Structure 1
Amino acid sequence: MGFFSNLFNRNNDPKSIISFDVIDSIYSHLHHESNSIEFKVKGIHDTVTVNLYSVPSSLDHEEGRAEIKKAGFNNAYEVLNELYKKLNIGGLSEEAMQDDLQYDFIHIQFYSRPSEEMKKHFTSVINNFMIFFCCTNSLEINDFRMLYSSSHFFDYVKGLLDSEYLDFKNPQNETEEIGVKDFKKVLQAISQYFNIEIPSDVELPSSENLLLDDKAAVEDFEEFVKLVSRNSIEENDVKKYSEKLFESFNAETKTYYETTEDHFSFFEEINTWHSDWKFDPEDAEYFISEMLGEDFKFDYPEETYSHDLFPYIQSELEKSNLELLTYETYGDSYLFFVVNKDEVERILELSDRTKIEVTQL
């Protein structure tokens, strides 16, 4: 009877990849093989970082001790107890602190696409998942709880203390919901990275190998050209443009400016709209009509201009399964183009891979 009682209230849904068994296997590899890894995951923007930290040793350095003192604590154990309060985990006694034991936690960090609300301000949102181990109706560690933050940890101790308890089965907002969805994909990718065998009854976020090889091939550029042009380019031109972009990608002697010039040259060959950051709704209707080859109109509130028009443009385009994207000019202009909405995720994956920086609006 005691054995079964240990299973109650645990984060060990056998069909979920966010479960103790999967995370404990990842922890074992981090503990015994490598306590820090960085790698690319298909469908995840930029690099995923995974670190195994120990309290107090991971904060036992000049910067860490200064951050602890600045936060109003005497030592790392007191910080850990503050985190345990958020997680409803029993704290360490004074006697336990004197034993000088190490308490591990996993910090997984990666970027997700922003929620509809966050799109107004950011092109990506950082996710910090901190996994702490605990006991549920057991004397042995058999469970975990998580803290979450979508802020950058410029002061690591403050970042931890500002994080909030995450009920991953019931996200509180769209940012958490997107983060949890991507977190499942990241856990699968970490398992693949460490060659961990995931039980067959676990519902996997993806049926493919999620590990991304950094080396882009000319075929990636061909696919990118086809998707951003909505297959409007002749096959011979697809080959020409993709080979030119691939050559630029591999040219070690080319400066960043020269590479981006090649990107601009390509986009000038397809239906795009290079606009100042200030534009009127009439401009948007005219140029999107030009890109689509058909009349385009959309509804918008009076006195609405420039980036404030994006939600209304996208809403109208969505009716035709289309979406407006932009090449990242890093200046005071946009380079707009229209793509099929159900191909956006793949375009963004290829953007990361080919280093042709495309962003959602």
Structure 2
Amino acid sequence: MTLLKQDNETATLGSAIAASTNPSGDTPFNQVNINGAAVIDNTHAVRGTQSIKLSPVSGSVDSFRWTGLSSTAYAASFYLWVDTLPGTETWICNITASGVRSGMLVISNTNKLRLIDTRGTSTPVWTATNTFPTSQWVRCEFYQTVAASGASQQASYFLGDSTTAVDTSTLLTTGQTGSAAVDTVVFGKSDGGTYASPFWFDSIQFQTAASGLIGAYPQVASTVVRPTSDISNSGGWSIAGGSGSMSIALADESDTTYVQSPDNPTGGSEVVKFALLQTGLVTIKVRHNATNASPVITRTYELVQGSSTIISTRSVVLPTTITDYSWTTTSAEAANITDRSDLRLVWSDTV
């Protein structure tokens, strides 16, 4: 079994994906076919702060691939962020043997995920019930064995790292996936259709000699973690000095990009989630300020596990200059943490 993976974190921000300069992470792609643009971007990210942003052009292919494979049972898993649905059939993952398709995931002309095999797009193996989700990370997965008939197949998609599928084909056993071992997997827009809106790929995996779906991209525990995703915003918080997600604005550790509450805040909160944290006491570090001395603004911070388990709380009157603020959990508070992959920071302002 071979597992190829790419999380884009070691690549240079803003660098173009090209045959000679593609992400140098766990497994660099060996071939790239870009006609629009593909760059390392920090607007959205699954793990860390970076992903691949594709800006395709109508009528052209914009894709990257791993080649030189040899497998008669395989699985693919990747996270996809789409703000604008294509409304036309768009191939997002295509797996071939000597140029002949074995299996493929597409977003259909009705904006639903489809599984395709050698029977082609006019005879889809499976079509999702729901419209493909937008403006969030969606993990797409599929598994197939290679057989001219009676092949095993399964396609599913999930919101982020969830283990509960939004839609799934369940395991099918009537596939027609060819008779030759697959040698190439292509990600991106691998068709010449009209779709020309930006979209993002991240945390990509491909497994040979697979026995089922791969699952979520692995998390590595770290001693220092930063916000990786937005959970909720009930207080009208906004990004200043940048664009994209709240978590990205906070994770870059720059005073030129930050989040701010509305004037005269009334307590609505912002919630962000962190990457997997190692064991031990937890120290929360922030930089904050109020733009004016009046009215006095009190900020409340809560370190929370999941949606409701409060681990530690602090309240502080905001100073009028940007100031470092931190606190460390007690041993008793840290002992109440049972899932370090789901730690969140909640904060709210009141006058």
- TM tier, smaller: under 0.3
More strand by share: 2
TM-score w.r.t. the length of structure 1 is: 0.23
TM-score w.r.t. the length of structure 2 is: 0.23
Q: Which has the larger radius of gyration?
A: 1
